[in-house]
Amino acid sequence: MFFFGAQALLAQSVGELQGRLNRSTSKSEKMNLSYKIAEKLLSSNPAQAADYAHRASLLASELGEKRREADAIYLAGEAHFRRRDYTAAAGRFNQAWNTARNYGLRDVALNSMQRLEEIAVKQNDLREALKWSRETVAYLKNNGAGGNRTGSSTAETRLLEARVQALESQNANLISQLEKTSGQSQNLESVYQNQLREVQEKNLEEINKRDQAITQISQEKMRSDSMTRIKSRLLDNLTKEQMADSIVRVQQERELQEQKRLYAEVQLAQKINENLRNILAMIVVVVLILAGAFYFRYRSKRRTADDLAEKNKIIDDERKKSDSLLLNILPPAIAQELKTKNKVAARQYEQATVMFIDFTGFTGVAEKLAPENLVEELDYCFSNFDHIIGQYRIEKIKTVGDAYICASGLSDLNASPSDMVKAALEIQDFLLHHKAERQGLGLAYFEARVGIHTGPVVAGVVGKKKFAYDIWGDTVNIAARMEESCEPGRVNVSEDTHWLAKYEFEWQYRGKIAAKNKAAMDMYYVTGLKQF
């Protein structure tokens, strides 16, 4: 079982690596995790792989990791190449080649030039392919083959010389293809110019013939149109005088009829206007009455609606306050169950992580502070504890005097023991900085012991009037023993928690240590996050 557990932890999925990347604060760790994610996504999702590889190259550039920078740029180019985005791929490979060439990374430089040559061939750009083939030959000659480079073995030299010869042969083939292509292009251009000249000559002859025919037709049409216009003018002169008299008579009759029609329309319009005025006056009166009725009704409804809205707002504000107070005491799922069913059933959690924090020398510090200053200092420390565990979705259980108890793995909250250990380290860092500040001011300060254990617990709500959410079980007792066996300023962890989080932190094994009412138990101090 140990073997399979170790294999499961080592074979991390992309999702786990992304989670670690999001939580990481170290640029070096982010660089390595981004590069690993890019490698894993290269086959399944080249687009995302390109993004993560680019991110790794930027971080490597900031950290001065030249080898990692060149590898990451090349990996980004490989991702674009697999997406068939040859323009983007060529840009990345060109960048990788320049970086590798500047820092003597021969394998990356050769692989980049080979990819650039392949891209040029795929895009039918033989001149570009020839350029990179020649560049590869020159690079090999200057960096290994044919140059008697110091430190190179005979076998390596022969391989490089064979590579140079193969590339020179490839260059010759590319030159031959370019010359052949150029000759074919010149022949095609000559044939095209001859055919174009013949077509232009034929078109010119046809155009001249058409122009002559059009000119002849236009002259005949002009003569015919002239005769027609003369005949039409003579006919118009004969009929104009006859039509003039009849037109005058018709116009006089139309004017008389139009005057009669207009007079009748004026009489009718006057009657219609009078009727419309009467109807409009009645409509205005009715509208004013209805408007008054609607206005008074609207005012009444508006006052009622405003009263209801104000009452609903007060009710909603009170409900939000009560929900907020309930969520400060209970986890969200437990609070919802309590509101829905008015009771909460006890629940068993098989793998919960419990943390005890206890201030050392509390009585001595309390004697040095006024009561209100003591409460203020406790509130300041506990509030910062609340903020830290809230970032890791850890549930605060309760405070007992100067002791602070919290747990993860309850309900739908975070079940990762590693996050509990990270929260404990942040709490000790906070207390260490706070101690330095108060020492500088000559004030009393708190130091704390922290104990963590992982195991099964039972959680539930007790009480009816002043109910409280609490956890029970031997896991709680062991976490308390871990705290009691801890030195101030340290984080003491049980064997079970160490097993679940051992690959993410640096540890100091303390051996088997006797605890109150318990057999001797293996204990570990957490010394910090593991650097990858």
CATH of the domain at 72: 1.25.40.10
Cα angle: 413, vertex 419, 423; to 5 degrees = 110
Asked if residues 488 and 371 have their Cβ atoms less than 8 Å apart, the reply is no
Asked whether the predicted pLDDT for residue 234 surpasses 80, the reply is no
pLDDT in the model for residue 179: 62
Pairing of strands 403-408, 395-400: antiparallel
Asked whether the predicted pLDDT for residue 174 surpasses 60, the reply is yes
Its pTM stands at 0.43
Asked whether the predicted pLDDT for residue 531 surpasses 70, the reply is yes
Q: Where are the alpha helices (DSSP H) in 103-151?
A: 106-122, 126-142
Contacts of residue 17, Cβ cutoff 8 Å, sequence gap at least 6? 33, 36, 37, 40
Percentage of residues of the chain with pLDDT beyond 90: 43
pLDDT in the model for residue 335: 65
pLDDT in the model for residue 382: 96
Higher pLDDT, 160 or 204: 204
Pairing of strands 447-462, 468-472: antiparallel
Q: What is the DSSP annotation of 379-394?
A: HHHHHHHHHHHHHTTP
| Separation CA 523–CA 265 (nearest Å) | 114
Asked whether the predicted pLDDT for residue 233 surpasses 80, the reply is no
Higher pLDDT, 362 or 168: 362
Asked whether the predicted pLDDT for residue 315 surpasses 70, the reply is no
Asked whether the predicted pLDDT for residue 44 surpasses 60, the reply is yes
User: The CATH number of the domain where 454 resides is what?
Assistant: 3.30.70.1230
pLDDT in the model for residue 4: 38
Higher pLDDT, 147 or 324: 324
In one-letter notation, the amino acid at residue 257 is: Q
Buried b (16+ CB within 10 A) or exposed e, 323-352: eeebeebbbeebbbbbeeeeebeeeebeeb
Structural domain contains residue 267:
no
Asked if residues 515 and 485 have their Cβ atoms less than 8 Å apart, the reply is yes
Would you place residue 496 in the very low, low, confident or very high pLDDT band (cuts 50, 70, 90)? very high
Structural domain contains residue 201:
no
Full domain range(s) for residue 24:
8-179
Report the Cα 422 to chain-centroid distance in Å.
26
**Nearest residue to 477 (alpha-carbon basis) of 513, 453, 501, 448:** 453
| Separation CA 110–CA 133 (nearest Å) | 10
Asked if residues 403 and 449 have their Cβ atoms less than 8 Å apart, the reply is no
| Separation CA 102–CA 289 (nearest Å) | 92
Structural domain contains residue 217:
no
Would you place residue 146 in the very low, low, confident or very high pLDDT band (cuts 50, 70, 90)? very low
Buried b (16+ CB within 10 A) or exposed e, 241-272: eeeeeeeeeeeeeeeeeeeeeeeeeeeeeeee
Structural domain contains residue 221:
no
Higher pLDDT, 158 or 468: 468
Tokens for 48? 């995302």
* Neighbouring-strand partners of residue 491: 450
Would you place residue 339 in the very low, low, confident or very high pLDDT band (cuts 50, 70, 90)? low
Average pLDDT of the residues in 310-317:
71
Asked whether the predicted pLDDT for residue 214 surpasses 70, the reply is no
Name the average pLDDT for the chain. 81
Single out the residue in 179, 213, 229 at which a domain terminates. 179
The number of distinct structural domains making up the chain is 2
* Neighbouring-strand partners of residue 523: 494, 511
**Cα separation values, 168 from 122, 157, 396, Å:** 20, 16, 72
Tokens for 74? 């090349």
Structural domain contains residue 231:
no
Single out the residue in 179, 194, 224 at which a domain terminates. 179
Average pLDDT of the residues in 336-345:
67
Tokens for 252? 């006089």
Asked whether the predicted pLDDT for residue 413 surpasses 80, the reply is no
Asked if residues 72 and 60 have their Cβ atoms less than 8 Å apart, the reply is yes
Instruction: Say which residue the tokens 């009691």 belong to.
Output: 484
Tokens for 225? 């149109």
Q: What is the CA radius of gyration of the chain?
A: 47
Structural domain contains residue 480:
yes
Asked whether the predicted pLDDT for residue 460 surpasses 70, the reply is yes
| Separation CA 454–CA 524 (nearest Å) | 13
**Cα separation values, 247 from 244, 252, 282, 311, 404, Å:** 5, 9, 52, 87, 116
Structural domain contains residue 286:
no
Average pLDDT of the residues in 109-119:
91
Average pLDDT of the residues in 179-196:
60
DSSP 3-state of 512: strand
* Neighbouring-strand partners of residue 187: none
Report the Cα 253 to chain-centroid distance in Å.
87
Structural domain contains residue 148:
yes
Single out the residue in 179, 214, 234 at which a domain terminates. 179
Per the document, the length of the chain is: 532
Higher pLDDT, 373 or 5: 373
DSSP 3-state of 109: helix
Asked if residues 330 and 338 have their Cβ atoms less than 8 Å apart, the reply is yes
Asked if residues 107 and 139 have their Cβ atoms less than 8 Å apart, the reply is no
Contacts of residue 404, Cβ cutoff 8 Å, sequence gap at least 6? 356, 357, 358, 382, 385, 396
| Separation CA 233–CA 140 (nearest Å) | 98
Chain segment 255-301, per-residue pLDDT in tens: 778 887 877 777 787 788 778 888 888 888 888 888 888 888 888 78
Segments of 300-392 assigned E as strands = 347-360
Instruction: Say which residue the tokens 């490089």 belong to.
Output: 160
